[in-house]
Amino acid sequence: MSSALLIPGVATACAQESQKAVLVGEKPLILSTWNHGLPANAAAMGKLNAGGSILDAVEEGVRDTELDLANLSVGLQGLPDREGITTLDASIMTGDGNCGSVAFVRQIKHPISLARKVMENTPHVMLAGEGARQFAIMEGFPLEEEVLSPKAAEAYAKWKETSQYKPIINIENHDTIGMIGIDSQGNMAGSCTTSGLAYKMHGRVGDSPIIGAGLYVDNEVGAATATGLGETIIKICGSFLIVELMRQGRTPQEACEEAVRRLISKNKNINDIQAGFLAINKEGVTGAFAVHPGFNFAKATSKENVMIDSSSHFKP
Taking the CA atoms of 146, 149, 155 and 158 in sequence, report the sign of the dihedral they define: positive
Cα 128 → chain centroid: 19
Binding mask 191-210 for ligand GLY (x = CB under 6 A): ---x-xx--------xxx--
Q: At its nearest, how many Å lie between ligand GLY and the CB of residue 316?
A: 23
C-alpha 276/C-alpha 225 separation (Å) is 9
Q: Which residues contact 55 (CB under 8 A, 6 or more apart)?
A: 92, 94, 116, 189
Please, is 165 exposed, middle or buried when counting C-beta atoms within 10 Å of its C-beta (0-12, 13-18, 19+)? Answer: exposed
User: Which residues carry out catalysis?
Assistant: 176
Helices 129-138 and 111-121, packing angle to 10 deg = 80
Rg over alpha carbons for the chain, rounded to the nearest Å, is 18
Q: At its nearest, how many Å lie between ligand GLY and the CB of residue 27?
A: 27
The residue nearest ligand GLY at its CB is: 206
Name residues contacting ligand GLY, limited to 129-188 (CB under 6 A): 176
Q: Does 227 bind ligand GLY (CB under 6 A)?
A: yes
Q: At its nearest, how many Å lie between ligand GLY and the CB of residue 230?
A: 2
CB under 6 A: which stretch of 20-28, 36-44, 115-123, 189-197 binds ligand GLY? 189-197
Q: At its nearest, how many Å lie between ligand GLY and the CB of residue 94?
A: 21
Name residues contacting ligand GLY, limited to 43-102 (CB under 6 A): none
Nearer to ligand GLY, 68 or 139 (CB): 68
CB under 6 A: which stretch of 107-115, 190-198, 259-267, 287-295 binds ligand GLY? 190-198
Interface residues toward ligand GLY, by CB under 6 A: 176, 194, 196-197, 206-208, 227-230
